[in-house]
Amino acid sequence: MKKIAFIPVLIICLLLLSCQEERKSGNHLPEKLTMTKEQLLDKIKGGWAGQTIGVTFGGPTEFRYQGTFIKDDQPIDWRSGYVKELMIASPGLYDDIYMDLTFVDVLERVGLDAPVDSFAYAFANAEYTLWHANQAARYNILHGVKDPGHWLNNPHADDIDYQIEADYAGLMNPGMVNSASEISDKIGHIMNYGDGWYGGVYVGAMYSLAFISDDVEFIVTEALKTIPAESKFYKCMADVINWHKEYPDDWKQTWFELERKHSDDIGCSEGVFSPLNIDARINAAYIILGLLYGQGNFTKTMEISTRAGQDSDCNPSSAGGILGTMLGYNNIPEYWLRGLDGAEDIDFKYTTMSLNKVYAISNKHALDMITRNGGEINETNVTIKVQKPEAVRLEQSFEGMYPIAKKRFSNSDFKTLTFEFEGTGFVLRGDVLKRSKDMPDGSLTATMYIDGEKIERAEFPTAYRYRRLDLFWRYQLPKGKHTVMIEVEGASDKYYLRSWDYVVYSDAPITTVHPE
C-alpha cells in the first residue's frame, strides 16, 4: 500500500518540477491564444491611445530634467481636451506618433512586404523636422550613404530615435514577438544600430506580449529575451528588473542606481560629458521603471515614467502605449481618456491619419499578420499562434571607444580649420549659417583631411530640414596623435561654417588624477 501511495506523489512532484522548468524556460507561453475581434481592436486602440496620452502628458517636461528626476510635489497638467489643444498649438510634439504613421502608411500603400527603400524614401523626404539619429540618417539617405544608421556613418546610432517609433511593429504583431523583431530589423536600421536598434526591438516585443498577458513584470521580462544577453542594453534592463525586486517600493532608489551605473552617453556628441542623455538605453530603463513600479496602474505608470526625466514625453508614451495595449482602450481610466476629447478625428500634422483612422489600419495589419504567421480568423474570433521570443543578433556601436575629452573649439566663418588630438577618433560639432536671414537657402561644401590624407568631402545645406547634424567625424583611427584639417571650397558671400567643439575618443577610459 505504501508503494502504491508513493507513485502518485512521485508523479505529482515530477509534474511540479516540470512546470517549474517550463516557467523558467518561457514555455508557459501558450502555443495559441484566442480572443474576439472586438478584444483585438480594443487592445490596438489602447496602444495608440496610450502612447498619445503619454506623449501629451510628458510634453512640457521633455529634456528639462537632465540627470535629475521631477519631484513629487511638482504638478504636471492634465485636462479634458488637452490632446486636441496641443495637436493644434504644438503639432511637433507628436513626433512619437507621426513617425510611426510614416511607416504604417508605407505598409498600407506598398504592402506588408514593402522593401526597406520605400520606408527610407518616405522617412527622408517627409516634411517634418528631425533630430539626432533620425536627422543624421535623413542626411545620409539623401546623400547616397549606405547603412545610414550604422554607427560609423551616424554618431547618434545609439540614440532613442527608433525606440520611440517602434510601437507600430508590436501593435501589428499581437503575440508574435519575432515577427515584430523582423520588421524592426528592416526599418530600425535605417536610423539606428546596436543599443539604438535594440530599444525599438524591445519596445515592439513588449507591445506584442501585452496582447497575451496582463502581468506587467512578465511582459517586461519575457520581452527582454529578444535582446542578446551580452549586450549593454540587455544588462541595463536586467539591472532595472533586479533592482525592482530589491527595492520593490522605492522607484527613486532604482533611479539612483541607474544614474550611477548606466548614465554614460558615448555616441551622441551633444550628450557626451553633458547632463543630456538621449541614449536609448537609459530612456528604455525609464520606460520599464514606470511599468514595473506602476504595477498596471495607468496613473502611477504615467507619473513615474515621466518623472524619471530626460526624454520625459517619449518614455511615458511608450509605457502608456504598452500598458494601454495590455488593458485595452475601454479599461484606460476615464480621467486619462477624457484628454482625447475632440482629438481622435484630427489628422496628425504631416500625415493623412487620425487616431480613428490608424485604429482601423493597424487592426487590418494585425489581422493580416496573424494569418501570415499561422493563426486563424473567423467571423467573431482570432486565434494567434504565439511566438516564443528569440534573441536578435548581437551588434554594438562604439565598441572599444571611450570619450576622453570634449574641447571647446569656437570658430566662425573659417576657410581653413585645423586641430590636433591624441586618441582613436573624434566628432567635430558645428553648423552652417546664412549671412543674412533674407537670403535663400543654399549650401557650402567642405573637405576633411586627416594627417594630410583626404578623407571626406561633404555638403552643408543651410535648410534646417536637410542639415548635416555634425560637421565631421572619424572613428577607428590608429591610436596616437592626429591632425585634422577642414577646408571650405570657394569663398561665399551668402553662407559660412562655424565650429563649436569636438569630442575625442580613445581605446580606454581616462582617469583624472590631480597632483597633490
SS (H, E, C) 83-149: HHHHHHHCHHHHHHHHHHHHHHHHHHHHCCCCCHHHHHHHHHHCCCCCCHHHHHHHHHHHCCCCCCC
3-state secondary structure of 44: helix
Can you say how many angstroms the Cα of residue 434 is from the centroid of all Cα atoms in its chain?
A: 33
Q: Provide the pLDDT for residue 510.
A: 86
In the predicted model, what is the mean pLDDT of residues 429-457?
97
Torsion of CA 433, 436, 438, 439, to 10 degrees: -60
Exposure of 381 by Cβ count < 10 A (0-12 exposed, 13-18 middle, 19+ buried)?
middle
Helix (H), strand (E) at residue 294: helix 280-294
User: Residue 75 class from Cβ within 10 Å (0-12 exposed, 13-18 middle, 19+ buried)?
Assistant: exposed
110 Cβ neighbours under 8 A, 6+ residues apart: 118
Phi-psi region of 157 (alpha: psi -120 to 50; beta: other; left: phi over 0): alpha
Statement: residue 340 has pLDDT above 90 = yes
- pLDDT band, residue 13 (cuts 50/70/90): very low
**Sequence-ordered list of residues with C-beta below 8 angstroms from that of 98, at least 6 positions apart, any chain:** 128, 348, 349, 350, 351
Locate cell 511599468: which residue? 291
Average pLDDT, stretch 229-251? 98
Task: Give yes or no for residue 11 having a pLDDT over 50.
Answer: no
pLDDT in tens, 244-267: 999 999 999 999 999 999 999 999
pLDDT tens for residues 484-499? Answer: 999 999 878 999 999 9
The secondary structure of 391-406 as a DSSP string is ------TTTT-EEEEE
List 406's β-bridge partners, or say none: 503
Angle at 195 between CA 187 and CA 190, to 5 degrees: 20
Q: Which residue has the cell 517619449?
A: 314
Residue of 427 and 22 predicted with greater confidence: 427
Give percent above pLDDT 70 in the chain. 94
pLDDT above 80 for 281:
yes
| Contact (CB, 8 A) for 313 and 96 | yes
Task: Tell me the pLDDT band of 513, cut-offs 50, 70 and 90.
Answer: low
Q: How many helices (H) and strands (E) does the chain have?
A: 17, 11
pLDDT at 511: 81
* pLDDT per residue as tens digits for the range 410-429: 999 999 999 999 999 999 99
Please check the confidence at residue 113 and state whether its pLDDT lies above 90: yes
Between 180 and 515, the more confident residue is: 180
Pairwise CA distance, residues 94 & 87, whole Å: 7
Maximum CA extent, the chain: 103
Residue, of 10 and 184, whose pLDDT is higher = 184
Q: Which of 483, 502, 507 is nearest to 423 (CA)?
A: 507
- Tell me the whole-structure pTM to 2 decimals: 0.94
The pLDDT, as a whole number, for residue 104 is: 98
Can you state the angle between helices 232-246 and 280-294, rounded to 10 degrees?
A: 30
Mean pLDDT, rounded, of the chain: 94
Does the pLDDT value for residue 120 go beyond 70?
yes
Intra-chain end-to-end CA distance of the chain, in Å: 83
Q: Pairing between strand 453-461 and 472-474?
A: unpaired
pLDDT at 26 over 90: no
